[in-house]
Amino acid sequence: MLQQSDLTLIKPYLYQGNVVNIEVTNTKKGREIVLEYQDGKKLCGNLDIEPFTMRELKRLSSIVSHFARGKYGSNQWRGNCSGLLIKDLLEYYQPKTFGDLAVGSGTSFEVARDLGYTAENSVFSDLNPKYGGVDISVPNLDFPLMDFIFFHPPYFVFPGSSMPVYSGIHNGGMWGDDIHPNDGSRITNPVTFKKWFDTCNANLYNLLHNGGRLAILMGDSRYKGKYYSMFKNMDIYGEIEQVIIKRQHNCLTDSVQYSGKFIPIEHEYLVIIKKNSPFVIPITAVNFCERDIRTSQKVTWATVIAMLLEYHGGKLEQKSLIDMMRRHPKGKGNNHLDAKLRQELQVHPKMFFRQNDFICLSTT
């Protein structure tokens, strides 16, 4: 918390620009303060160390936070990220050529022009006809190869949630009269969305020069107890070079008071993928699948017994439990299940215990 004496210390720095955010954190070395200005500049200092001075905070690290939007993009465009993040990326990696093929409201275009990129060394497009109507989820994209591509896709939208959608103004979108069939924000099936997202990533990766980088900014979605993580579920084409956690600000849900055991999502992932070969593409593939313990022979007997006991309220008569073990695929043809049960009880004394004729599941 700021005290009156603290305001005297930081007063000279308050006049250096339009301060939009002040954060004070208690550390072992004292109270650290960060001032963030409208243009994205950040100063930090320690209020408990004399003489008090503030220095400019290094912008790009594995955790980034931009409360200020800067002068880039439209604050009316839902889901728009701060152009200051894109500026940090371009200033850090300094690519000769840059592209954003899902440009949204044009934030990255404005950043690029501000940094001196021109039509000769930068490319911008979008599914929105305003920016060419280019669909990056289809093959044979016709663009020059680039050194750095920024991709901020729409996030998975659970039906009924308030997550932003884009095509179809008459249906809650932000552009176009009709809903575009390949608009990712309109795909409500998680398997179909994953396929769309993976295809976009693969197509963009193919547009990189050897040594180029694809920066994907993505987030998680949750609605009525269901959770979808884009990062966990995505296939990866190329090699991950860096994962940056971005703190979210200025969301519609920031003012919502949640009840119960609910942790609001306040982060996004910025994943930097590098292309290290023009021919060989390392691929990490993710598949959705389920395993039914009732029919699997790969599970352990301890897992099967725990499943049976839990399903029946935590305990079963030994004879009944052995009969159920016999009906499980692991028990077919096994004439020594009573010995197997005794063995499991001996090996797992913290998981199971015997109570007269009953086998019970331990609880903490």
Q: Among 25-39, 104-118, 316-330, 332-346, name the one with the lowest average pLDDT.
A: 25-39
For position 27, which CATH number holds? 3.10.450
For position 274, which CATH number holds? 3.40.50.150
- Could you tell me if residue 71 is inside a domain? no
- Could you tell me if residue 294 is inside a domain? no
pTM over the 0.75 mark: yes
CA 154 – CA 131 distance, rounded (Å): 16
Domain identity same for 315 and 265: no
Domain identity same for 176 and 240: yes
Q: Among 123-127, 199-203, 295-299, name the one with the lowest average pLDDT.
A: 295-299
Band (pLDDT 50/70/90 cuts) for residue 59 is low
Domain identity same for 208 and 351: no
Instruction: Quote the number of domains for the chain.
Output: 3
Domain identity same for 260 and 342: no
Is residue 263 predicted with pLDDT exceeding 90? no
Domain identity same for 169 and 226: yes
| Domain range enclosing 21 | 4-59
Domain identity same for 350 and 278: no
Domain identity same for 112 and 50: no
How high does pLDDT run on average in the chain? Answer: 93
pLDDT, tens digit, for every residue of 111-161? Answer: 999 999 999 999 999 999 999 999 999 999 999 999 999 999 999 999 999
